[in-house]
Amino acid sequence: MDKLKAAIEKIMEKDCDMAVISKNENIFYLTGFRPSARAFLILTDEPFLMVTSMDIDEAENSSIDVFEFKKSEDVKEKIGSLSPKAVIFEPSLPIGTFNKLRDSFKFVIEDIIGNLRMIKEKFEIEYIKEALRIAEESFREIEVEGVEAMIAANLEYHMKIKGSMKPAFDTIVASGIRSSNPHAKVSFNKIKTPVVIDWGATWKYYYSDTTRTIVKREVEEEMLDILLDAQREGVKTAKPGVKASYIDKVVRGVISEYGYEDNFIHSTGHGIGLEVHEPPSLSVNEDIKLEKNMIVTIEPGIYIKGKFGMRIEDMVLIKKNPKILNTLPSRI
């Protein structure tokens, strides 16, 4: 209920008297109810949920009022009956749905919940650590051999039987020349080094996200050293009060020193929790300052087109002495 209160304060700060929360992760965060279909949390003096027939039983287990809707018009009507003056909608709301809900009231497009979600409560940190524990334990069970798809299938299988709800994302196993594509799909190629493995588990809707690269040749070893150096420097700076963009600057700086500036083609990391990628972004334009109990990934990578690439990714808890949550060694 504290979270609901904090959300309602945010609404007042924006001079609004209602917010329509449509992002499933945010509805879950505020109410404990996880929609399986389109749903809306209407935040006013007396918040309530609007759900379809599919979700009505589940929603009624939450502590706030629930109404069923069949069509968007039902939601629009219900909102209208409260005569709001100014309504906050979320940036993630599809424009088609927005057009069905908008009315004569003023509106503001703002993600008021995403910012609340950045700082993790104690139980959230535990859930994220549990997801990570499952992911790492599963990695320890498998052999990195054979074809890429088999390694991914094994990892996902072990995560599931250890209690992961689902893979946090499509597990990446990209080896040899394919490692130069940071988002490569698994293939049925037999692996050769380097082997980039990027995987995560889900515990009670909270995610983990980790990458390890298995190297063999000296040139690969050397590149991994650069990434570990960059990551180490990044982790050191991941303290409360530091701008998220500064970590990116530090990590990118180390990689640049070695001449690979143009080969680090993605941001340094991202917040993680109920979404795999959530604020803050550790990237050049992110103004958000880190705060205690945020959890972010730090994942420097170097990709050489047509040759190979690699990445190392750990999850870091922001505090005065930044803590790497991973227990798996960086070098496998």
The residues that touch its own copies, with contacts defined as CB under 8 A, are 36-37, 53-55, 57-58, 71, 89-99, 109, 111, 149-150, 152-154, 156-157, 160-161, 163, 165-167, 170, 181-183, 185-186, 188, 265-266, 285, 305
Q: CB-wise, 58 or 233, nearer to its own copies?
A: 58
Task: Report the nearest approach of its own copies to the CB of residue 294 (Å).
Answer: 22
Instruction: Name the residue type at position 315.
Output: M
Q: CB-wise, 265 or 332, nearer to its own copies?
A: 265
Instruction: Name the residue type at position 46.
Output: E
Q: Which residues have a Cβ under 8 Å from the Cβ of 22 and sit 6 or more positions away?
A: 38, 39, 40, 41, 89, 90, 92, 93, 97
Q: CB-wise, 137 or 291, nearer to its own copies?
A: 137
Q: Provide the 10 A C-beta neighbour count for residue 187.
A: 16
Task: Report the nearest approach of its own copies to the CB of residue 165 (Å).
Answer: 6
Q: CB-wise, 1 or 284, nearer to its own copies?
A: 284
Task: Report the nearest approach of its own copies to the CB of residue 92 (Å).
Answer: 5
8 Å CB contact between 192 and 173: no
Instruction: Name the residue type at position 328.
Output: L
Task: Report the nearest approach of its own copies to the CB of residue 254 (Å).
Answer: 19
Q: CB-wise, 149 or 324, nearer to its own copies?
A: 149
Residue 310's nearest CA partner among 186, 200, 207, 222 is 222
Q: Which residues have a Cβ under 8 Å from the Cβ of 223 and sit 6 or more positions away?
A: 215, 302, 310
8 Å CB contact between 309 and 226: no
Task: Report the nearest approach of its own copies to the CB of residue 318 (Å).
Answer: 25
The tally of CA atoms less than 13 A away on the side-chain side of residue 290 is 34
8 Å CB contact between 311 and 180: no
Q: CB-wise, 164 or 231, nearer to its own copies?
A: 164
Q: CB-wise, 94 or 241, nearer to its own copies?
A: 94
Specify the 3-state DSSP secondary structure of 304. Answer: strand
Task: Report the nearest approach of its own copies to the CB of residue 93 (Å).
Answer: 5
Describe the strand order of the beta sheet including 210-214 as a list of residue ranges: 172-175, 195-199, 210-214
- What's 289's DSSP letter? B
Task: Report the nearest approach of its own copies to the CB of residue 261 (Å).
Answer: 12
